[in-house]
Amino acid sequence: GGGGGYDASSTARSPAYSLVVGGAGGGEDLGRTGASPHTTGTLSGGPYPATAGGEGVKEAKPVQLIPSLFPHRKATVAIDYPPYLGLRRNMGAGVTVLPATSKRLPVFRISESVHEYNCVRNAFLRAGFRRTNSGSNWNVLWGRHLKEEEYMRLNPYQKVNHFPGTWAMGRKDRLARNMARMQREFGDHFDFHSHTYILPADRLKLRSEMEADPKTLWILKPCASSCGRGIRVVSHAAGSKIPRGKPYLAQKYVRHPFLIDGKKFDLRIYVLVTCFDPLRVYLFHDGLVRFCTEKYSTAMKNIKNRFAHLTNYSVNKKSSKFDKNQDAEEDGVGTKWSLQALRRWFRERDIDDDRVMANIKDVIIKTLISCESHVGSLCGRYFRGRTPEQPGSNCFEVFGFDVLLDRHLKAWILEVNVSPSLSSSSPLDKKIKNTLMTDAFHLMGVVPYDSKKHEKDTESRKMSRLLGLDKASRVGTTRHRNVRELSAMGPEDLLPDELSVICETEDELARRGHFQRIFPAENAAYYLQFFETPRFNNVLLLMWLNKWKAMCDTGSVPRPRPLALTRARSDGSRGSRGSGG
């Protein structure tokens, strides 16, 4: 193209793919996707219409519980795949079923303030959750970010789909400020986000740089918009037309993107975070590759062509050249591919796709670390007072990271979506997003509870505290040591709350399905330098993964009783309970 982007033209259709994920006793084969029926189901004894695109949950399903890997830890609700995916989760041994009359049947609520996605609602219905549209006696709430007092009112068994403070990434201006701060402190380690001016405050600085380097192109974006609204590419000549009073970003345009068939594309990468203290991050195995519908060029006459420069689906679907996916197995062609199809395309041309993915994982981890201090401090304030006996994290969040590859296949973070679209606009979207959300809900670990009994127990504990009767039960459970002490410790020295963090982490990994844990991982020590505060729990998990776990597995030290495995460790479809936040 006129902009000199690297063009590696595709010549053949990529074959449909099959992925095997290890489970407790074998693998799961990602099979063919069929059309879903449009049916009516029942929920809590009443009719519940499944909207178009849903798989039609016909009746209230039995609730299956899968045990923890460890003794004295609560079982979690199993979330199985929709039948049309051809997937079956390997539950392993010890699965139990809650009686239909149980007072612990799990409940979900979808807030009226958000769009109701089929892949969210139907995942819960398939798992036997009952639905409520009001009240506070639910296990999972899917909605917008809560207010401070709402987070603080959550009971230990409740989970919400946003951590407090993640707008530090979700707003383009706040992400830019975080990235600029990290670039000042760590230099080239954070050179994956384009130089940015925040308007209107930086308007004069932007004009000055435009005049000093008139050949540079800039992309203007409203700070809090989506779907490509208000975005445009501008040159020095348009400097006088920069918005004066509106909150905008002006970023240096990545002028030389990697091209396929002469067209620009970006990646939607799905990331699940189950905890910020310790930080636990999972990358979904698949994602979306979104192409422009016209050839890329940076010629002045072409920079206003949104179909050549903006990859947003909502923009390109209006193009006469838009090629909509009609079959999930017809992948690697058209305007939208799967991430797996792109990786095959790379391998067929001897491009190291593992290296590309390693770079993408690196920029995702660093982006999350850039806001970790802010989110972690809010979680610490809102959720203080948790004990090892409680199920763990009150929050989980699915992020949509938008990533651009330049002509050298370097990954650039474009933006982070805290509420990525989960609409099934094509069979390919439906396949990916239903697998994504089923695995996310399974991994996060929902513990069923009797709400009335919990309220009664909570009042009893409050009374005991007032009377000073529960002091003895808390001895030895609260951490009063620092990071430096960990290096001289062994697994036998761990306190109950520290053991709880390790158990949660291992349970999550066992329920991971099609997710890969990218933090903490074997290279976690490298990333500790970027945290504002060396949190105890992050270092604790690093010690466990790099030292103590091998000591326990080989028998060189006895396994502490809470870490004694009650069943074989799974490698593929079980998961989490979180810790703090």
Residue 573: per-residue pLDDT = 44
Closest CA to 85 of 516, 572, 343, 430: 430
Q: What is the secondary structure of 428-472 as a DSSP string?
A: HHHHHHHHHHHHHHHHH-PPP--HHHHHHHHHHHHHHHHHT-STG
Q: Which of 112-126, 277-291, 565-579 has the lowest mean pLDDT?
A: 565-579
Quick check: pTM over 0.95? no
Q: Which among 24, 19, 31, 33 has a CA at the least distance from the CA of 67?
A: 24
CA 234, CA 82: separation in Å to the nearest integer? 46
How far apart are the C-alpha atoms of 359 and 353, rounded to whole Å? Answer: 10
User: What are 323-340's pLDDT values in tens digits?
Assistant: 887 778 878 888 999 999
Task: Classify residue 569 as exposed, middle or buried by CB count within 10 Å of its CB (0-12, 13-18, 19+).
Answer: middle
Q: What is the share, in percent, of the chain residues with pLDDT greater than 90?
A: 62
What's the pLDDT band for 508 if we cut at 50, 70, 90? Answer: very high
Task: Report pLDDT for 57.
Answer: 65
Amino acid at 187: G
Stretch 94-102: mean pLDDT: 95
Identify whether the C-beta of residue 284 lies closer than 8 Å to the C-beta of residue 233. no
| Average pLDDT estimate for 309-335 | 84
Lowest mean pLDDT among 298-307, 452-461, 487-496: 452-461
Model confidence pLDDT, tens digit, residues 195-251: 999 999 999 999 999 999 999 999 999 887 776 678 889 988 776 678 777 889 999
Residue 47 has what pLDDT? 33
Q: What is the tens place of the pLDDT at every residue in 8-51?
A: 443 333 333 222 333 333 333 322 233 322 223 333 433 333 33
pLDDT attached to residue 471: 53
Q: How many whole angstroms separate alpha carbon 448 and alpha carbon 459?
A: 19
Contact 277, 295 (CB under 8 A): no
CA neighbor of 8 nearest in space, from 262, 200, 206, 281: 262
Predicted local distance difference test score (pLDDT) of residue 566: 67
Phi–psi pair at 4, nearest 5 degrees: 80, 15
- In 3D space, the residue among 82, 98, 99, 100 whose CA is nearest the CA of residue 45 turns out to be 100
Beta-carbon neighbour count of residue 122 at 10 Å? Answer: 23
Q: What is the DSSP letter of 521?
A: S
The mean of the pLDDT values for the chain is 84
Mean pLDDT within 187-193: 98
Would you state the structure tokens that stand for residue 382, as one six-digit string?
């809102």
Whether the pLDDT of residue 372 is over 80: the answer is yes
Alpha carbon of residue 287 to chain centroid: 12
The region of weakest confidence among 17-26, 86-95, 287-296, 504-513 is 17-26
SS3 assignment, position 254: coil
Give, for 159, the enclosing helix (H) or strand (E): strand 159-160
pLDDT class of 147 with cuts at 50, 70, 90 = very high
Distances (CA, A) of 105 to 111, 141, 187, 228, 396: 20, 15, 51, 42, 21
Domain parsing of the chain, residue ranges: 22-165+442-451, 453-563
